[in-house]
Each structure stands twice: as structure tokens, then as C-alpha cells.
Structure 1
Amino acid sequence: MEQTYIIGYIMIGVVAKQYMLKTIGNMDYLRLLGELGVILLLFFIGMEINLVDFVKQWRIAVIGVIAQLTLSLFLMLGVGTYFDWGIARIIVLGFVVALSSSAVVIKLLQDKGLLDSKMGKNVLSILLAQDVAFVPLLLIISQLGGTKMTSWDLALMAIGASIILALLIYIYTKRSLKFPYAKRIAKDHELQFFVAVLLCFGGALITSLFGLSAALGAFVGGMLINATKETHWIQDTLHSFRILFVSFFFISIGMQIDVGFIQNNIETVLSAIIIIFLGNHILNTVVLRYFSDSWKEAILGGAYLAQIGELSFLLIATAFTYGIIEEFSYNFTINIISLTLVISPFWIGITEKAIALVFRRQKQY
């Protein structure tokens, strides 16, 4: 199955880690390529999103994310109270556990042809709401770390958020947009490439200048493309480009897995992974079932959302930079996130087989 490509990329990162470290001294270059991969991936995700349809599903998106954050915070509060953690550390780890992986989940939904299914749309709505929530979560962590935003920084972020909101309202109101010189662009392959890069990385640059997530800008640029007529050429023009950088992203995840660290803390690591998968799976199953998914769809959707996402790398790295967590907790969390991404396709596959077995037996009776 195509999902093995994700696992393959991560395994390449694990195997190549020692060689790459000796070659470049650190992983900064590969992480940069991975960040570019996330930007490009979210640009393509945005291209798949019809804003009008997404707004119709705002309830499941908002309630789903609030429920995830609430449960994760309570879970970490219980664990943190037992281990005598500080409140800032509890909040950070609660945020980290609550976010699922847009990169992995959407890739798997696409491979299985489920992106346009009811379950796929509900899962996608929750993922997109998480991506939007990432910015305020990052801001909260910076405040917990004692980094006070200046009035200028806050003003920039407010302006950037206002621009994005105005653009989304414009797209929603117009429903359908059209590029200037669309016919000429459609005939010129070189011009197509530059227009696509401008929309993707231009949007990322603009939002980053305003202190917002670069990936968010690329995502909005993709949504702009979705509302624009005659833009099928962008998919064809950037497809190979996307595969290259997304592969770097998953390889960079593999390079963050420390096999020795995992071996030395195997019991704690396995316990954490089991708790995370079961907790996220059950919570998301309940949320999806509440919004009229059948139990079969809800359980499968819960499996897709059970892992920890790539944006959590940025949250934990920010918390480490601000001194909220120490080095051991940082390494432990990085390895947990990476392992949940590796295990996720297998967890989904096991869930699919279990669902098929249970419902087959029910039909027999």
C-alpha cells in the first residue's frame, strides 16, 4: 500500500541519521527542507478545501478541537500532578498531545480514496481547525515561557490575522474567483510554475512577516487556488516538487528518533504511546459519533486522528527554547511524536481489520 512510503521515508531518516550528522554536523539543513515540505504540503491541502463546504462543518471542527484540548490538558494534569510537574509544563504537553498530523492523515485518506467521504470530511475539518488553533497555542507557550510580546508584535499579528480573515471572507462571498490572464497562464508552463511558487511561498512569507505561521499562509494560498477557475495545471506543475520536499519532511522526522534513548526508556515510551493512541482514538470516536457518523465511520475516523502531529514538534521546540521543559522531556517528547507517526498507519490498518471482523460477525447473526 502507498502508506508504506511514509514509513519508508521515516525509516530512511532513522538509518541515515548517523551518516547525516557526520556529514553536515547537525540537522538544521534537513529540518529546513522539512519545513519547506510542510509549507508545500499545506498549500496542496488548501487546494483541496472548499471554504463554503468547510464553513458548513464548523461545529464538528470547533467542538472537536476544544474537546481534544480539554481532555489532553486533563490527562496531562493527572500525569503532571503525580510526577510533580509545573503548570506550564502540563499545559505545553497537553497542547502537544492534542494535535494530530495533517501530513500523515491526509496522505492516507488520499491514498485510500476517503478524502471525499463523510468520515474523511469530518476528519479533515478537525485537522484544519487544529492547524488554525496552532497559532494561539504557540502564542500561549511563548507567554508561559516569560516572553512578553511587545505592542508592535501584537499589532503585526493582529494586522496579519485581519488580512487573512478578510481574504477568507472575500473567498467565501465570491464563491468563485478567476486569475487575471488565466488563459495565457494555462498555455505557458514556465509561467505556471512561477505563479504557483508565488502563491505558495509568497503567502508563507507574508504570514511569517506578520509573526504568524508560514504554513498557514501557504494553506490560505491553496484555498485561494481552490476558489479560482482553470487552475488544474498547478497540481501537475508542482506534483514532483511536492513529493521531493514532503519526503524530506518525513526523513527529518526519522532523523529525530533516538534509538538509544528509546531502548533506555522503553517501558515509559511504550506506556506513553499506548495511552496517547487509546486516549485520542476514544475521544475522537466519541466526537465523530456525536456528529452522526455511524459507529463504523466514527471508530475508523478516531484511528486516523490518534497520533500526534508534526506541528507538535514546533510547540515542544518552542517550549524547550523558553526553558519550560528540560532536555530529557524534550528528547522524550520528540521521540514519542516521531514514533506515533510511524505507528499510525499500522494502527489504522489494525482498526480497519477489527472493524471488518466485528461487522462481518454482526451480519452473520
Structure 2
Amino acid sequence: MPAALQSLLVLLASAVAALALARVLRLPSMLAYLSVGIALGPHGAAYFAENEQVSSVAEFGIVFLMFSIGLEFSLSRLKAMRHMVFGLGAAQLLVTLAGTMAVTIFFYGQEWRVGFAIGAACAMSSTAIVAKLLSERLELHSRPGQQTMAVLLFQDLAVAPLLIVLAALGKGPEALAETLTLAMAQTVLVLAVIVLVGQRLIRRWFDLVAGHKSPELFMLNVLLVVVGLSLATSAAGLSLALGAFLGGMLIAETPYRHQVEADIRPFRDVLLGLFFVTVGMMLDLGFVLAHLPQVLMALALFIGAKGGLMLLLTLLLRNPLDVGLRTAAQLAQAGEFGLVLLQLASDSRLLPADAFQVTIAAMLLSMFLAPFLIARAAHVGKRLSGSEFAHRAEAIHDIAVHAMDIREHVIVCGYGRTGQSVARFLSREQIPFIALDIDTQRFRQAQDEGENVVFGAADRREVLMAAGIARARAVVITYAEQPATEAVLDLLRSVRPEVPVIVRTQDDTQIDRLKSLGATEVVPEVVEGSLMLAAHTLSQLGVPIERAIQQVRATRAERYASLRAFYRSESDRQRDRQSADGDALRRQIPERLSVVVEAQSYAVGRSLADLDLGRFGVSVDALRRGGVRGDDPDPATRVLGADVLVLVGATENLSRAEQLLHAGPV
């Protein structure tokens, strides 16, 4: 067996075993990968020697992670978060850098360049660890999660300038000004070209690729964009990760964001695991044991000082104590880019060997402790406040205002595609509803459309009370994540156990558990999809549509107890119902897209009839102007700047219609 293949087999077997053990012990998968690196690396069993090829492949794990984060932080969202990113983020980096420099210079007697190098490395936090943990804990969009991601985002943006500065410091103080000026000019030029030109090209390019309707071609195109932009920024002297992040932000402005995110997830997780293996290889346990007092002191100073400074900054911004504590804990560890900066400083001979070893040991140990520290801070934070929303009087007040004038309403938990579909049916029957969602982009879009949607997590008692659970007629839970659904059910059982609760689930394996938790009815998507697929198949094979629908109805009657009487009685209306179901077989559920018309857009001054969006298979469901929403606008209505058009149609058709509204015929 070739040596490379044998090494790969050992690595995969070790990773599988460690990951399985971590799952059994309910530990983060990151710890499993780090343990494999320590055990098999040059400082452990020495089965693997850390080499440039392994590190290069592992670096693409960070590239794909940054691309995924870019998908979450679109240009519009980055603009909306600019105060937090460039305010709190810049403050964290500068304060940590200055504090570390002061300790290094005054307490350890090192020169300022050494202090700057160590401070720059220590200021970084782990995007890989924190983003993955927050995603697993469903806390990316919580207040501590948003503050943490804003700081991490600024750190990621600051990596490129810091790399430039450290490289310049390694060449000597005399060349510093010239090197920095040239590098900064190059950075601004490259970023301007990618953002300004790429924003116009990426949508048209993806429209062209998606038009071929080939999943293989689409996936290859995504990989091309990720790798191509990463190498473009790398060739310009910037980091690979920065190019990937910008690519993610550009694609986030297109309708293909969710599909792209699903396609790259397997690549991201596998390569990111390999990155953590290489990080584990860097930890020399022999050195740690030989210099244990120094390493522990550095570790305590690192986590305590960095976390303390972050806590102070968040409290100065008038955050509640529990939010500040959780944000500080999520940023108190070292980061993967910090290791890169420290390695560069060592290669540039800015750091003494002992200082390098102690610092990197403390940084790696802090990354090991990060999952436990974050979990502990979340537990303490909940005990301090009982709820993150307990201190958010303004948010709770906003929810209460929206629910104040409605009674006998439905609370829709989650306003994604399923929640929007439910809301449309409720609106047609003139049944009042209030929807809760924590996706900021979806929340803003719904508000632009004038929908009764508020920002709030349904698993919080205060939010449900403000949404009027005491007088609600029913609750619909549309979450795709099982833990989130169970959390809401558990809360509803204690707040108002008699209220009817209809739950969406992926398949029928969790029906019994969800009903035991208080669900009145559980609708499995897989079952509904299979029923419609079977009906289509029978119809295409020549079976009369009435007979196919009858089988579908019989199956539904067996599965949905609350609708059994409907399916098995009222024979005088059966033919009408069968006809409605037959029409449903021939009709696709459309997508919705809100388009904000800019002052320079092609559509300004033209009537809806002139635009003729119907040729794309797209209809204008509503027009919102000056805070007033009008449904089914007259075709003679002329479009003005700042209008919001709510379009309905297939995804690919919506993209063409939006392009026409902004740029005109192509």
C-alpha cells in the first residue's frame, strides 16, 4: 500500500473513532480533531510530521468557513451592522493589542515590535470554533451571537493589514513606511475591484449557470468562485480567507444563497476538521509540562485579560451583564488567524524562541477550553437573567404592540417558506396572526412587505407572553431544527398546555415524541411529499385522478387524527374537495421576493403594464410605498424610487424579473 494512502487511512480511522467518542460524551467535534492531531502529530506518536502540504489543504477548511460566513453577512447586512462591526470590533482589537503590548514591554522587558506581534496574535479569536459552536447551539442570531460575529468579522477583515504590518516589521523599521503604503494601496484596489465589479457580475453569472439546470455544473461553479476569489486575493498579497468571505457576501445578494450554503457544507466540515488536526499537531505537550507554571500563567492572563476587556467594552455599550458575560466568553480564546500571525512573526524573527513556545501553547490551550468556557458562560448567564430577553424591554414592547389589538389569533413560530405559506392561508381566511422570527434579514424583508412579523425567539417565555399566548387560538411551529421545536413545545406545555399546536417535522420518525411533548398534530414533510409524488405517478400511469386523490385522502385520514372526520365524511362536498386537490397537483407553490426599487433603477417612471413581468411568469402581489401596502396593484401604477415590489414566481423567474427592474432588458 502506498505510504500516502496508508497515512490517509490512519488519519480517517482516527478521526472517525475520536469523533464517535466525542458524540457519545457530548463533546464538541472540534476537540476530537484536536486530540487526533496531538496524538498522531510530531509531538505525540510522531506518525505524522506536520508539513506544508497538509497545512495548505487544511487552510481551505478556513476558506470554506469564511465563505459560509460571507453568505450570512451580505453587503446589505454588513452595512446594517457597520456600527457594531467597526465600533465594537475595532475597539476590541485595539484595546487587546494595546494591553498586550503594555504587558510585554513593561513586565517582560521586550521591545515594542515583539509586543505588537504577540498582541496582534492574541487579539484574534477563533471564527472556526465560535461560529460552529453558536450554529450548533442555535445562537448565531442571539444578541451575544450577533455581537460576537461582528467582532469576529472585524478581526477577519483586519487579518490582511496585520499580515502586511508584521511582514514589514520583519524587514526592519527603515522600510516600514514604504512597505505599508504600497501594500495598503494594493489592498484597497483589489477589494474595490472585487466588490464593485463582482457585485454586478456574480448575479448574472449565476443566473446563466442556473439556467442550465445542472446540479453538477452549479456545484462546480460554486467551487470555482470560492477557490478563484481566494487565489485572487492571495495573489494580491491578502489572505485566502478574505477572498472567500467577499465571495460569500456577493453570492448572499443573489437568490441562490441557501442552495450554495447547502452544497458547500460537506466540503467545509471535512476540511475544517483537517485544519483542527493540524492545529493539534502544533501543541508540544513535552514543552507544556516542562514549562507548566509559565504556560498556565500565560493562559490565565490570556483568557482573563482578554475576556475581561471584552466584558468591560460590552458593559460600556449598556449591555446586560449576562449578554456581556456570554460575549466575552465567546471571544476569550485564541484564533486560527492568531496562530498564522504568530507563525509569521516567528518566521520573520520578531519573536524569541521561548516567547513563541509559551504564547502558542497558551493560545492552543485556550482553544481547547473554549467550548467548556462558552457553555459555562451560557449557563451562568441564564441564571443571572433567566432569559436573554428579560433585559430587552424595547424588543418585548415592540412584540406586545404588534399583538395588542388582536385576539383569537395564531402565533406562527418561524417565518421561512413554510411559515409564509401558512400565513398566506390565514390571511385569505381573515384569521389574524403574528409571526416570530430571529433571522434579521427575513424580519426586515417581512416588515418591508407590511407583514405582522416581529423579531423574537419563540422559546422565550417573555416573547410568547408579549405575543398574546394567553388569548391565542393556536400555535404553528415551522422550525426545521428538532431541538428548537422541542424547546418551544416544552415552554408551551408550562405556559398554556391546552392551546392547539401544529408542528412541522422533516419525517415521521419523531411524531410520537413531539406529540408526547404537547403537539396536537405533527405534519411530516417527507410523508406529504411522498403522497403528492405517488398521486402524480398514478396519474401519469393512467390511473384516474379521482382514484389517486382518494388514496391520498385515505392515507391522510389515517395519519392526521384531527382531520379524520373531514377526510371521511361530508360526501356531498367530496367532489369539490377532490377537484381542489387535483388542482393542487398541477400547481407549484411559488416563491416570494421583495425588491426595493432604487432611484436609478430601470423601472422608475414605468408602469407595471409597461414592465410586463408576466412574461417571466412573475406577478406583482403587492406594492409598498411610503409605509403603505397595496395588494394586487393596478397595472397602470407607475413605479417610483424607494418602492417595494413583492413579486411571486419561480426562483429563476424572480431573478430575471429583478434584473429587469434594476438594469432593464439585457
TM-based fold match above 0.5 = yes
Offset from partner CA, 1:106-160 (integer Å, 9 cap, x none): 1111111111222212211111111111111112212221264897996576344
Q: Which amino acid is 1:146 matched to?
A: K
- Residue 370 of structure 2, aligned match among 324, 337, 344: 344
Q: Which has the higher helix share?
A: 1
Alpha-carbon distance change, 267 to 152 in structure 1, aligned in 2, over 3 angstroms: closer
- Larger Rg over CA atoms: 2
Give the Cα–Cα distance (whole angstroms) in 2 for the partners of residues 195 and 59 of structure 1.
34
Give the Cα–Cα distance (whole angstroms) in 1 for the partners of residues 80 and 261 of structure 2.
26
- List aligned pairs for 1:217-228, cutoff 5 A: 217-228=243-254
Gaps of 5+ in 1: none
Q: Which amino acid is 1:200 matched to?
A: V
Give the Cα–Cα distance (whole angstroms) in 2 for the partners of residues 316 and 16 of structure 1.
23
Aligned partner of residue 288 in structure 2, secondary structure: helix
1:274 aligns with 2:297: no
- List aligned pairs for 1:40-59, cutoff 5 A: 40-59=64-83
Offset from partner CA, 1:266-293 (integer Å, 9 cap, x none): 1111111111112122222232333343
Alpha-carbon distance change, 77 to 326 in structure 1, aligned in 2, over 3 angstroms: same
**Aligned 8 A contact 2:100 2:118 in 1:** no
Give the Cα–Cα distance (whole angstroms) in 2 for the partners of residues 122 and 20 of structure 1.
38
- List aligned pairs for 1:304-323, cutoff 5 A: 304-323=330-349
State the partner residue of 1:163.
190
- Residue 27 of structure 1, aligned match among 51, 58, 63: 51
**Aligned 8 A contact 1:100 1:127 in 2:** yes
Which structure exhibits the higher relative contact order, with contacts defined as CA atoms closer than 8 Å and separated by 6 or more residues? 1
- List aligned pairs for 1:100-115, cutoff 5 A: 100-115=125-140
Give the Cα–Cα distance (whole angstroms) in 2 for the partners of residues 35 and 20 of structure 1.
22
Aligned length: 359
Residue 163 of structure 1 and its aligned partner are, at CA, apart by 3.4
Give % identity. 25
Alpha-carbon distance change, 198 to 246 in structure 1, aligned in 2, over 3 angstroms: same
RMSD: 2.7
Residue 41 of structure 1 and its aligned partner are, at CA, apart by 1.1
**Aligned 8 A contact 2:43 2:281 in 1:** no
State the partner residue of 1:254.
280
Residue 180 of structure 1 and its aligned partner are, at CA, apart by 2.9
Give the Cα–Cα distance (whole angstroms) in 1 for the partners of residues 161 and 43 of structure 2.
37
State the partner residue of 1:334.
360
Alpha-carbon distance change, 37 to 295 in structure 1, aligned in 2, over 3 angstroms: same
Residue 343 of structure 1 and its aligned partner are, at CA, apart by 0.5
Offset from partner CA, 1:166-199 (integer Å, 9 cap, x none): 5435788x8x9452325335x3121122111111
Aligned partner of residue 181 in structure 1, secondary structure: helix
State the partner residue of 1:286.
312
**Aligned 8 A contact 2:85 2:154 in 1:** yes
Residue 75 of structure 1 and its aligned partner are, at CA, apart by 3.5
**Aligned 8 A contact 1:199 1:221 in 2:** yes
Alpha-carbon distance change, 353 to 77 in structure 1, aligned in 2, over 3 angstroms: same
State the partner residue of 1:11.
35
Gaps of 5+ in 2: 1-22, 391-666
Q: So what's the TM-score if we normalise by structure 1?
A: 0.89
Q: So what's the TM-score if we normalise by structure 2?
A: 0.50
Q: Which amino acid is 1:315 matched to?
A: L
Alpha-carbon distance change, 24 to 79 in structure 1, aligned in 2, over 3 angstroms: closer
- Residue 74 of structure 1, aligned match among 93, 99, 102: 99
Give the Cα–Cα distance (whole angstroms) in 2 for the partners of residues 233 and 306 of structure 1.
33
**Aligned 8 A contact 1:204 1:215 in 2:** yes
Give the Cα–Cα distance (whole angstroms) in 1 for the partners of residues 273 and 292 of structure 2.
28
Aligned partner of residue 340 in structure 1, secondary structure: helix
**Aligned 8 A contact 2:322 2:384 in 1:** no
Greater shift in the superposed pair: 337-346 or 326-335: 326-335
Give the Cα–Cα distance (whole angstroms) in 1 for the partners of residues 302 and 340 of structure 2.
19
Greater shift in the superposed pair: 53-62 or 342-351: 53-62
Aligned partner of residue 171 in structure 2, secondary structure: coil
**Aligned 8 A contact 2:41 2:47 in 1:** no
1:65 aligns with 2:89: yes
